[in-house]
A and B are shown apart, each in its own frame.
Chain A
Amino acid sequence: MSATQLPDLSELDAHMLSRVAESIYWMSRYVERAENVARFIDVNLQLMLDDPSGEGQQWLPLVNTTGDHDEFKKRYGTATQQNVIHFLTFDAENPNSILSCVRSARENARTVREIISSEMWLQLNKFYLMVNGAAEDNSRALANPHEFFTDVRNANHLFNGITAATMTHGEPWHFFHMGRMLERADKTSRILDVKYFILLRSVQDIGTPFDDIQWAAMLRSASAFEMYRKRHGRISPRGVVEFLLLDREFPRAIHFSLLAARDSLHAISGTPLGTFRYPAEKLLGQLCSDLSYAAVDEIVNAGLHEYLDDLQDKMNQVGADIHETFFALKTPKTSKRSMQEQRQ
């Protein structure tokens, strides 16, 4: 995509409130996070179902990869399927549980109701009522978690579809899109990481039919199975890593997501692609270039986990830079004259 294809939103006279931009960005991130936590648990459930020996009942890695390990240990003790699912799904005190994410998304949406379309609000509110209802009586959801997680995924699909179709694709939408894509890149990297933790335990399984089943289950949970087949055919660890990390066209791949986030970032700032004015543009551009020129063998040989860890740190830094540049405006610097010029 050439720089000239991007609309330069910075030239339009009506700019968004920083607070509103931040709320839209987080609303979007939280909804996407809820969906990905659902995918995240689902991948593990599927893996466990395909483990006939039952020996590999590993639930703690899930908690490890969300970074909430200490909190979990303190409140729940030993990890079981039941309590990990509860912690990640309905625990109101865990800020990253699906319930908390949907609540936070809705709270953010409530502060920008006049900016988003009423259809978006209606869908998000229904999503919230659905999850909240399931949390109040969670016996059904826990008895059939796969169905519940499918509902969560579909609710987010619907929300994203409604947003794409009803919200003007201007500055607010780009904040929405950027938030969603950064969140998705981060969470896909964590889904890959879950597999890494499972691998640690079952190194003897590598290359066995059971190992293939595991990779396939993971692809399914990222809605990537059929798309992967079309691209790579045979399932191999190398192929899966390449697909979920480096593919430029699959919409849940990390590379795809970061490119999309970068495009929205530049649409907001008006900086031509390939150049930068803000730290976030610099770092995100570097990340995209890295992924463009990365070879999967090098990554796997050097250690996938280490690579993903580093990637996650950098993506966090991009988030922090976005906050500094667009949301955390502190003191007026513009002179009266430049302000009056802006008003014309």
Chain B
Amino acid sequence: MRFLDYNVDEFFDEMFGEDGRPRSSARTLVRNIECLPDGELLNRQKAAERALLQMGITFNVYGENAGTEKIFPFDLVPRIVPAAEWSRIEKGLKQRIHALNLFINDLYHDQKILKDGIIPAEIILSSKAFRKQCMGFNPPRGIWCHVTGTDLVRHSDGNIYVLEDNLRCPSGVSYVLENRAVMKSMFPQVFAQSKIRPVANYPSRLRDMLEFLAPDGVTSPRCVLLTPGIYNSAYFEHSFLAQQMGIELVEGRDLVIDDGYVCMRTTKGFERVDVIYRRLDDDFLDPKCFRPDSMLGVPGLMEVYQKGNVALANAPGGGVADDKVVYAYVPRIVKYYLGEDIILPNVPTYICSEPDDLKYVVEHIDQLVVKAANESGGYGMLVGPHSTKEQCAEFAEKVQANPRNYIAQPTLALSRVPTVVDGHFEGRHVDLRPYILYGKEIFVMPGGLTRVALKKGSLVVNSSQGGGSKDTWVLADSPITEPDDFNSPPAPPTLAGAAA
């Protein structure tokens, strides 16, 4: 297959410049793809899809029969990020997470940022994700947001913007790892010729982070991954990560509180659990503390947590910083806590609870993307330019009825990447979700999930709304030293003094 008739149109294309020539970062790949015999790329695409189905790498779709599975569509053409650009993204993400963690900690202690009037207090206090049960609590090692998946987009101006902070239970990292495994088997020669930074040690990093949180005095902590169960859309990922980390995958019913500790039910009785990587929302975590009707959680878990006898990642209450209204204040949050200007800018955001903004949003709703503050997965949002008049009017009413719950942003012209459609290449819009771990230090996975809107012209990349994924290649500017095997041993510790 050739790129001869490929057209970048008026969008920023991640692979080709405006002149239609491949960007320097993409030249090796373009050459390799063009050298493939006719039909070969399509064959590889089909082989990849068959492998994904047989491996059962699927997700569940809500609103259809429980247990309805689909493969997450996968496109073979990767998104490539040059080294220098990545280095800026990495710095920006570290800065953002650092500040957000300080912010959450402040909210549950002195609330200085509210007292100083940087953010209106009612925005925080009215947030569904603000948990007054967490007031005054000090989470293990002072960390609230252990795992973050920040959504980035590139606009037609060429700049990268942060679209969303996902601080609760961001999913998708398993697809990053599986996509990479598929790509390495499909394009070994390109990997050999390029310096693509590996992503495969993410599970080890994740496990290290979890063990770092263990209560004091526990030398070999038992970590578990708490899943809502098999009907959760991300169940495959939960199971995959538990397997790759070599930890137990548990459901709420496997855990029980005994004498101030969390224990799991084994065939030989109850055994203590020290760290829980929970992939369950705050609401469902503990029916005694949050939603009393939750069948998925562990009654009494929060009490054990607050006594310091078990660690939870991410920390309950941290979702307050993931509120889409709070998002609008992140540049000010960074400035307030770190005294720095934000490195990765936000998308300009209208806050509907502010009267002027609300008026603008209602009047221009057909040009805007409107989002509910507490929804994710592409649910509860409106893309104005792609909606009917009726849909816009209906949404405008919802916004006016509950302005606090909505924000709006200009419709961005997301950048595109060539994508295989009906046997040739067409540009499709993408975003990028890198994953960040906050343990002993802040670690940004070199890569992430590139989600692609497979429908022509669509800007919605969510898997539940017809999105697919691509591998993301972050290029190294120096030789690669990181291990790239699931089971490779950790790097030897640096000798003291050797680093000087």
Contact = CB atoms under 8 A, between A and B. Distances in A.
Nearest first, the 4 closest Cβ-Cβ pairs linking A and B are A114-B243, A15-B266, A332-B258, A15-B268
A110 B230 contact: yes
A80 interface: no
Given A19-B253, A125-B56, A268 B267 contact: yes
A16 B242 contact: no
10 contacts: A15-B267, A19-B253, A19-B254, A110-B239, A114-B243, A122-B54, A125-B54, A175-B267, A331-B256, A336-B259
A333 B267 CA distance: 13
Interface residues of B, number: 34
A239 B236 CA distance: 50
Contact of B271 (A15, A21, A118, A335): A15
B258 A16 contact: no
Interface in B260-287: 260-261, 263-272
Most buried by B among A107, A113, A125, A129: A113
Nearest to A325: B267
A248 to B, nearest CB: 28
B54 A129 contact: yes
Interface stretch (B163-171, B244-252, B328-336, B441-449): B244-252
Contacts of B269: 15, 329, 333-334, 342
B158 interface: no
A294 interface: no
A154 interface: no
A129 B53 contact: yes
A332 B239 contact: no
A171 B56 contact: no
B237 to A, nearest CB: 11
A104 to B, nearest CB: 12
Contacts of A1: none
B240 interface: yes
B500 interface: no
Contacts of B235: 110
Interface string B112-129: 000000000000000000
Contacts of B240: 113-114
Main secondary structure on A side of the interface with B: helix
B466 interface: no
Contacts of B56: 110, 113, 121, 125
B192 interface: no
A326 interface: yes
Contacts of A175: 267
Given A121-B56, A326-B267, 18 more contacts: A15-B271, A16-B266, A17-B266, A18-B254, A18-B265, A107-B67, A111-B229, A113-B236, A114-B239, A114-B243, A114-B249, A129-B54, A327-B267, A332-B263, A333-B269, A336-B259, A339-B258, A339-B271
Interface in B218-243: 229-230, 235-236, 239-240, 242-243
B491 interface: no
B499 interface: no
A232 interface: no
B55 interface: yes
Contacts of B265: 17-19, 329
Contact of B242 (A15, A114, A339): A114
